[in-house]
Amino acid sequence: AWRKYSAHEFTNKDEFERELVRHIETTLARSLYNCDELAAYSGTALAFRDRLIIEWNRTQQRQTFTDQKRVYYLSLEFLMGRALDNAMLNVGMKDAAREGLQDLGFRIEDVIGQEHDAALGNGGLGRLAACFLDSLATLNYPAWGYGLRYRYGIFKQEIVNGYQMEVPDYWLDNNPWEFPRHDITVDIKFYGQVKKKQDENGKLVASWEEGETVQAVAYDVPIPGYGTKTTNNLRLWSSKASSGEFDFQKFNAGDYESAVADQQSAETISAVLYPNDNLERGKELRLKQQYFWCAASLYDIVRRFKKTKRAWSEFPDQVAIQLNDTHPTLAIVEMQRILIDIEGLEWDEAWNIVTKTFGYTNHTVLPEALEKWSVPLMQNLLPRHLQIIYDINLYFLQSVEKQFPNDREILSRVSIIEESHPKMVRMAYIAIIGSHKVNGVAELHSDLLKSTLFKDFVDIYGVDRFTNVTNGVTPRRWLHQANPALSSLIAEKLGGHEFLTDLTLLDKLEAFVDDKDFRRKWAHIKSDNKLRLARLIKDTTGYTVNPESLFDIQVKRIHEYKRQQLNIFGVIHRYLKIKGMSAAERKKVVPRVSIFGGKAAPGYWMAKTIIHLINKVAAVVNNDSDVGDLLKVIFIEDYNVSKAEIICPASDISEHISTAGTEGSGTSNMKFVLNGGLIIGTCDGANIEITREIGDQNIFLFGNLAEDVEDLRHRHFYGDFQLDPALEKVFKAIKDNMFGDAGDFSALTASIEEHGDYYLVSDDFHSYVTTQEMVDEAFLNKEEWLAKSITSVARMGFFSTDRVINEYADSIWNVEPLAVKD
């Protein structure tokens, strides 16, 4: 009976055209005669949206009906990128759309290009959440994402005179992918006081009174699985003023301005994504965002659970909540508050439910990224939550004291409250204490968590609470969508596209490594992808690059620990070397294009200095006729998901060169290798497991190991520091104003020469430069290089988020996919 109402499904080109025209003429109220690319995009998006929403409705019905355990993924960031291409591929109607659009005179690529990226994230953590949603739906898990509907996503980066400028990213106009649910709202309270009250049974209970309320409104985004019937939901909360009598009274009293001001202040909560990556600044508005989103999401989850009329003890059998970093840690405290203050459970019973429900993923060991909130701030904003945190801490410390009766030190080390001025609440500790599993995102990272940051907690809880789930990427977006030619070539060899849902099937490619014809096609595809990137570079920077050159790419957030400075110093070294060569020697140089991209946090001065240096070096090198095509330096502005889809398939080599022990996992390393690029990298994050999978002959590793970092830093600190001689020459060139005013870069050189070289740039410089020379050498042997490229792709099966999600499902969430019959 359902089916006959789904009139807007289309199953072929003609039906697609019918739907497209219907949307253009009626939904958009446009005439076909003045239909531009933007209208064609909107019409196409609406046609596909109809399909998604039909499946979305069916999926939600099915999930409610079968009533099995669901996963809720709480993330402050979802870096989704564009949705249309993804919807077309997942629904499997892209060819119909291509032909239909062609009939109307449009190229599908141009239509797809009209869409604004949904950029509700900073970098790796946000994109990982988006890949997870794709895999959850593809694997038919009943799963919801919960996040914030920022009015402004990550800022748009413009480069002006070599400097980064930030422009607001207002992205919501005409966004067809979200559905406002004005009927799904939650009132969220802030401030106020806690009073003790007697309940009906005469028991003393805490009551959180007065304060201000802000309304959370749900916006739903459908998440289609690839080739499955599951379309899951991403629910994003938007803030607005509560429609209570509060503003009504002000309004009637003639205080119109202040009523409007209240409304604006409420809307501020979900206004903007914080652009800091790995730096916590302790701003009140950020804490408000976190509580607003956690409280709204939990209310929603609890409301759904209560409809089933089950006992509270069954909550952990119905609900798994995963915390994407510590940003949603308040959800633990809020859940405990709901259970004891509102539902009337005893503390222990409630706490048992909470810890069975939550899991916590840590993404970084950088100390400056660990969230701490000042006690006075929390006291003011969330007085009841602070009390509960104190109680969690009290019971926890009591049990630690029992376990380690003669150890005074451990109590202050593991206390949730840091005894500083002001006192601080350590969010990671709440997350550990309130979860049944804590995981890192790559083997080395998880090992470091256990041996350093969270060592005491391993002693307290045992090692079983701590686990590793190595990251992955979705092969749908990062192979099939970003690199359709390679995807088809692989499908041709493997006899179909099954590898897109079972990436381990790629291993069958190894049989073709020596196949001449296959190699030729493989090489062709790489060239085409490099051409595509060369066009993007021409269009956005004006520079012409030779696509025959070795494309060396480093795209990621700009951060000292990721060491873009090491890369650009290496580029300067290369430039100086070329300058010193005879014409005959220059003939032997392997032409190279060094490509950079990435945003600096607006307040991160050193990162901005690195961008500035890259651009100044580019200006000098690219205009030096001595050098010509032998070296080009490119900074691609406004690196984002849709640009990554063009960039990742176009690398010969990409750089993942963080100081050993600092990168949680890295995920672009996987995207580049999956697209047939090789890697130069340190023994850090998932580089180590990539090496294990693809073989160490297929990757260029260099640099000091994580186990040596502490000692090296210690030696620098005590004055045992020798600037690498080649790096010294690079610094001399900078100081001689070769790249403009040396004063602009003095903080950068000083951080290495004078301030202890915390990130070991000098220590790794020699090894980096010589490894780059090995890269040049290897690139000369085209056939060997191709063999490495193909072999690597064949061995990348492990790095699919499908594998990752299945691991979470088995070892942390204990959830099963929902079987769907056709």
The residues binding ligand 26W (CB under 6 A) are: 122-125, 128, 276-280, 325, 363-364, 369, 371, 441, 471, 663-667, 685
Shortest distance in whole angstroms from residue 278 CB to ligand 26W: 5
Shortest distance in whole angstroms from residue 472 CB to ligand 26W: 10
Pair 465, 459: CB distance under 8 Å:
no
Spatial separation of the C-alpha atoms in residues 24 and 40, rounded to whole Å: 7
Based on the residue annotation, tell me whether 149 is a catalytic residue of this protein.
no
Closer to ligand 26W by Cβ: residue 247 or 371: 371
Give the side-chain half-sphere CA count within 13 A for 327.
30
Spatial separation of the C-alpha atoms in residues 609 and 694, rounded to whole Å: 36
DSSP annotation of 797:
G
Shortest distance in whole angstroms from residue 337 CB to ligand 26W: 23
Based on the residue annotation, tell me whether 667 is a catalytic residue of this protein.
yes
Shortest distance in whole angstroms from residue 329 CB to ligand 26W: 11
Pair 442, 370: CB distance under 8 Å:
no
Joined tokens for residue 499: 């590898």
Shortest distance in whole angstroms from residue 323 CB to ligand 26W: 12
In degrees and rounded to multiples of 5, residue 817 shows phi and psi of -65, 155
Closer to ligand 26W by Cβ: residue 125 or 416: 125
Closer to ligand 26W by Cβ: residue 441 or 545: 441
Closer to ligand 26W by Cβ: residue 534 or 699: 699
Shortest distance in whole angstroms from residue 366 CB to ligand 26W: 8
Shortest distance in whole angstroms from residue 364 CB to ligand 26W: 5
Closer to ligand 26W by Cβ: residue 622 or 640: 640
Which residue is catalytic, options 189, 426, 562, 592?
562
Shortest distance in whole angstroms from residue 363 CB to ligand 26W: 4
Is the peptide bond between 817 and the residue preceding it cis, with omega within 30 degrees of 0?
Answer: no
Q: Could you count the other beta carbons within 10 Å of the beta carbon of residue 756?
A: 17
DSSP annotation of 272:
B
Which residue is catalytic, options 667, 682, 749, 801?
667
* 429, containing H or E segment: helix 427-433
In degrees and rounded to multiples of 5, residue 408 shows phi and psi of -75, -35
Closer to ligand 26W by Cβ: residue 93 or 369: 369
Q: Does residue 325 sit in helix, strand or coil?
A: coil
Based on the residue annotation, tell me whether 195 is a catalytic residue of this protein.
no
Spatial separation of the C-alpha atoms in residues 60 and 2, rounded to whole Å: 14
Closer to ligand 26W by Cβ: residue 230 or 662: 662
Spatial separation of the C-alpha atoms in residues 561 and 350, rounded to whole Å: 41
Which residue is catalytic, options 235, 556, 563, 788?
556
Closer to ligand 26W by Cβ: residue 177 or 604: 604
DSSP annotation of 81:
E
The residues, ordered by sequence, that sit 6+ positions from 134 with a Cβ below 8 Å of its Cβ are 86, 223, 225, 226, 474, 476, 477, 801
Based on the residue annotation, tell me whether 821 is a catalytic residue of this protein.
no
The residues, ordered by sequence, that sit 6+ positions from 473 with a Cβ below 8 Å of its Cβ are 131, 667, 670, 671, 674, 799, 800, 801
Spatial separation of the C-alpha atoms in residues 685 and 514, rounded to whole Å: 31
Based on the residue annotation, tell me whether 716 is a catalytic residue of this protein.
no
Instruction: Give, to the nearest 10 degrees, the angle between helix 84-91 and helix 37-66.
Output: 60
Spatial separation of the C-alpha atoms in residues 625 and 620, rounded to whole Å: 10
Q: Could you count the other beta carbons within 10 Å of the beta carbon of residue 119?
A: 25
The residues, ordered by sequence, that sit 6+ positions from 417 with a Cβ below 8 Å of its Cβ are 375, 389, 390, 393, 423, 424, 425, 426
Which residue is catalytic, options 94, 327, 363, 530?
363
Closer to ligand 26W by Cβ: residue 609 or 667: 667
Q: Does residue 811 sit in helix, strand or coil?
A: helix
Which residue is catalytic, options 70, 557, 788, 795?
557
* 793, containing H or E segment: helix 782-794
Closer to ligand 26W by Cβ: residue 169 or 371: 371
Which residue is catalytic, options 149, 612, 671, 788?
671
Closer to ligand 26W by Cβ: residue 39 or 690: 690
| DSSP per-residue string spanning 460-520 | HH-GGGEEE----B-HIIIIIIT-HHHHHHHHHHHTSSGGGT-GGGGGGGGGGTT-HHHHH
Shortest distance in whole angstroms from residue 123 CB to ligand 26W: 4
Shortest distance in whole angstroms from residue 809 CB to ligand 26W: 18
Shortest distance in whole angstroms from residue 568 CB to ligand 26W: 20
Q: With the CA atoms of 555, 560, 564 and 567 taken in that order, what torsion angle do they form, in degrees rounded to the nearest 10?
A: -150
Give me the residue whose beta carbon is nearest to ligand 26W: 124
Shortest distance in whole angstroms from residue 446 CB to ligand 26W: 11
Based on the residue annotation, tell me whether 562 is a catalytic residue of this protein.
yes
Q: What angle do CA 449, 356, 380 make, to 5 degrees?
A: 75
In degrees and rounded to multiples of 5, residue 472 shows phi and psi of -150, -170
Pair 112, 89: CB distance under 8 Å:
no
In degrees and rounded to multiples of 5, residue 276 shows phi and psi of -80, 135
Pair 555, 596: CB distance under 8 Å:
yes
Query: What residue type is assigned to position 535 of the chain?
Result: R
Pair 484, 476: CB distance under 8 Å:
no
Pair 642, 82: CB distance under 8 Å:
yes
**Burial category of 432 from C-beta neighbours within 10 Å (exposed 0-12, middle 13-18, buried 19 and up):** buried
Closer to ligand 26W by Cβ: residue 471 or 529: 471
Would you give the distance in Å from CA 791 to the centre of its chain? 28
Active site residues: 363, 556-557, 562, 667, 671
